[in-house]
Every structure is written in C-alpha cells, then in structure tokens.
Amino acid sequence: MSIFFKIIKNFIFKCYNSFGDVMKDYYTIEKLDHQGRGIIHVNGKVIFVENALPNEIVEIQIVKSKKNFAEAKVLSYEKKSEYRCEALCPYYEKCGGCHMMHVSYEKQLMFKLEKVKDILNKFMKNFTFAIQPVIEAEHLGYRNKATFQIHDQIGYFKKESNTVVPIQECLLVDVKINKILKLLSQLDVSMCQQIIVRASKFLKETMVIFITDDTIEKEKIIETIGKYVDSIYVKGKQLKCIYGKSYIEEKLGDFIFEISPDSFFQVNSAQAKNLYDLVKKYANLKKTDSVLDLYCGTGTIGLYVSPYVHKVLGIEVNEQAIMDAKRNQKKNCIENVAFICGNVSQMLSTIKEYYDVIIVDPPRSGLDKETIRFLKSCGAKRIIYVSCDPVTLARDLNILSEVYGVLELTPVDMFPNTYHVECVCVLNRR
C-alpha cells in the first residue's frame, strides 16, 4: 500500500495539480503564444511559461492551475535560446509595462510576424495574400506618453496587480519624460492618483497632468518643474491649466498637431509617421478621390492624406477628439476636410455620397455589423484597414473578402518590447 501511495504522490506532484508545484523534470519550450509566453504540453495540458523562449530547456514552478491549462515561472535554465538577451531595465521582472525585453529585437520582429500569420491562418478561410516584413522601430525611448501611478512613491503597476513598483527611469519613454520624472521625486505627490507626462518627439515640448481629488500645492509644482516644461494641468473635479500653454505640439511630416491633455495621439510619434505613410501608399490616392475616414480620432490620418485627394470626411464618436481634429485642420490651413461627431455605425446611414477610398481604424473590438454591411454595399474601390488586434482583423477580413480582395498586409511595430502589433491591410473591390 505504501508503494501505491508513493506512486500516486509522485504522479500528482509531476502533474502539477496544485498551486506552487515544482516540475522536477526539465521541459523543452515548444513555441511562444500570442502574449510572448513559452508553451509546453504535459499529459494533455498546456502550460504557459513566462520568460521562456522556443527550444529552451527549463525547470518550472506552477503559479496558477486551471482545468485545461496552467501558468508557470522558470526556476532554472538547462539550455538558453540564442535569442535571449539580458533585460536592460532593472524593474523588468516586476513591472507590467513590458513583456519581451528578454528577447532580442530581431526575434521580437520574427515573433510578431509569425503571430500575425498564425492568427490569419487560424481565423481566415482563405488566407492567400502577401504578408510583408514588420516595419521596425527604435525599440527604446520611443513612447511620448507615460502614466505614472502613485502610492507613496511614483511608479508603474506590478504585473497583474494594483501594487505600485517605484521607478526612477523608464527605458521605453522619451528622455524628456525621464528628466521630468526625476523632478517629480522632489515633490510631495501623495495626494495624486496618477501623473501623466506627455512629450513631443520632434518639437521637444512637454506637458504634465496631475490627477488628484485633493488640494495640491500648485505654487510648489510650478516652482519645481515650471521652467522645464511647456504646460502643467491639474485634474480634479475640473481640468485646469495652471502653467504655460493649453496644449503641446507635434510634427508629423509636413503637419503640426496639437496635443491637449485628453487628446488621443499615437504614443510612438516616429512610427506613427511610418504608419501614415503606409496608409497613403496602400490607398494609391488620386487628386479626384473622395476619402471616408471612419473612427478618425483626432483626424491625423485624414489630414495627413488630404493634400493628395479631392476631399476627406472623418467620423468619430468622441466629441473631444473631433474638437482636436477641427483645431488641427485650422492650424494646418486645410480646407478639403470635414469632421462630424457621432457613432460610426449610426452615422453611416446618413451618407449619400460615393467615396472612392475608405480608411477604417476601429477600436480593438473591430468593426460592428452595421459598418461591415455598409462597407460591403458602398461600392468603394479600396479599403485601408488599420488594426490594433489581428484577431478581430481576421474576423472582419473574412466577411469583407466576400466583396473585396485582400491584396496585402504589413505589420507595424508600434510598441517594441511588448507583444502588441499593429497591422495595415489593403482591400480592393472585386
């Protein structure tokens, strides 16, 4: 009987059915999942292993176990991948901001390309169109916006928690943001929930927004950081500019864009320009073309392509974004663009004119049924689909391909050192 119980005990231990079990044998990582985690299969159960790369041989410990899968961390490496690199960030193991800093940038690009292909193969019926290499980016210092969390100290949230990891520098953000972060350490910010810092890469301007429910020492803030920034806001019950300009500016190509505290603006300025250039290239625009820009946000794409077409109409549900779009239109002296505020799926029924090219840049949830129905019946000769989620992109392309032929897709690395990837796709009417 004791031998029987010993066998059962060893079997349970090896099959990791309880929290915290250590897999005493070493396992070879098979591939990466779409979140950049290593995958192994043991006794019909998939295990996702954080900080593990394909072909690495690892000893692991289970940290979470469910019926059909488990999550694990690496205890030791018997063999390491040639693509593994030492994470430069001292907070990488705790901070939830990055996912793939332990992976060489070359391998990150390979991973994102394979991720897109894998998703399209899985969710599309007829995936035969060309996938171009990922447009790469500067993989450090690229972010023009940081949202710092406050709990006694300034930092980012720990992975999968609301615990704040205090930091002194973030390697992903613009150097100007890190300089401001050092200045913030001289202030008592305990009354704040968050501090948002924005910076323009090309025009070198900065803005700081203090999110607080309590009275804050505005004079002390201005005294400490005023001469180093262009704009300071306090957001409590109301949003108020307490110092400097009411907005900062960024330049993309030949255009100047205003960035107000609540504006949406691509967090990677340099890569945003590459993305907009790709949209323009795929659209193959003519001076006689009319362009419909759906989910236009602050109008950056519509304004960017406006010199090459007859006219542009942008539609966006966010009222603040439309106000920003109209200001940017005026600032750049553009007369052939119009913006209207409203829910895209509801506004489409009011459109009676024909549009040659339609640009869509929907939220992560993708296109709704009403918008897809409009796109299939509108007769536009070309659709440019900008997507932040390859899964919903594949779903929508499946339906649109009944009327449109998908010609080509290019992934764009907007967020290096994370598993996220943007895609731009061109569809021509059959």
Residue 103: inside a domain: no
pLDDT at 192 over 60: yes
Buried b / exposed e over 233-272, threshold 16 CB at 10 Å, is bbbeeeeebebbeebbbbebeebebbbbbebebbbbbebb
Considering the entire predicted model, what is its pTM?
A: 0.92
Q: Distances in Å between the alpha carbon of 14 and those of 61, 204, 245, 399?
A: 11, 56, 62, 45
Q: CATH code at 70?
A: 2.40.50.140
In this predicted model, what pLDDT tens digit does every residue of 11-31 receive, in sequence order?
444 444 445 677 667 999 999
- pLDDT more than 90, % of the chain: 87
pLDDT at 247 over 70: yes
Q: Do 234 and 284 have their domain in common?
A: no
Q: Do 339 and 394 have their domain in common?
A: yes
pLDDT at 134: 98
Residue 101: inside a domain: no
Question: Distance between CA 324 and CA 333 in Å, rounded?
Answer: 14
Which amino acid is located at 184 in the chain? L
pLDDT at 233 over 70: yes
In this predicted model, what pLDDT tens digit does every residue of 251-279 receive, in sequence order?
999 999 999 998 889 999 999 999 999 99
Residue 255: inside a domain: no
Residue 257: inside a domain: no
Q: Do 116 and 162 have their domain in common?
A: no
Q: What is the mean pLDDT of residues 206-219?
A: 92
Q: Do 120 and 152 have their domain in common?
A: no
Q: Do 386 and 328 have their domain in common?
A: yes
Question: Distance between CA 286 and CA 276 in Å, rounded?
Answer: 16
pLDDT at 162 over 90: no
Q: CATH code at 150?
A: 2.40.50.1070
95 as an active site residue: the answer is no
pLDDT at 160: 80
Q: Do 406 and 282 have their domain in common?
A: yes
pLDDT at 214: 76
Residue 64: inside a domain: yes
Binned at pLDDT 50, 70 and 90, residue 7 comes out as very low
- Tell me which H or E stretch contains 336: none
What residues make up the domain containing 195? 145-249
Indicate the average pLDDT of the chain.
93
Residue 92: inside a domain: no
Question: Distance between CA 430 and CA 427 in Å, rounded?
Answer: 9
Q: Do 167 and 121 have their domain in common?
A: no
Question: Distance between CA 197 and CA 255 in Å, rounded?
Answer: 22
Q: Are 164 and 170 in contact (CB under 8 A)?
A: no
Final residue of a domain: which of 202, 222, 249? 249
Q: CATH code at 328?
A: 3.40.50.150
Residue 94: inside a domain: no
Binned at pLDDT 50, 70 and 90, residue 5 comes out as very low
- pLDDT more than 70, % of the chain: 95
pLDDT at 361 over 90: yes
Question: Distance between CA 273 and CA 249 in Å, rounded?
Answer: 15
Residues 6+ apart with CB under 8 A from 9: none
In this predicted model, what pLDDT tens digit does every residue of 108-127 receive, in sequence order?
999 999 999 999 999 998 88
Q: Do 342 and 372 have their domain in common?
A: yes
For residue 5, how many other CB atoms are within 10 A of its CB?
Answer: 9
Q: Do 112 and 235 have their domain in common?
A: no
Q: Do 131 and 212 have their domain in common?
A: no
Given 85, 378, 388, 425, the catalytic residue = 388
Q: Do 287 and 240 have their domain in common?
A: no
Residue 231: inside a domain: yes
The CA dihedral of 150, 155, 158, 164, to the nearest 10 degrees, is: -30
- Tell me which H or E stretch contains 114: helix 105-123
pLDDT at 170: 97
Q: Do 201 and 326 have their domain in common?
A: no
Question: Distance between CA 430 and CA 377 in Å, rounded?
Answer: 12
Domain count within the chain: 3
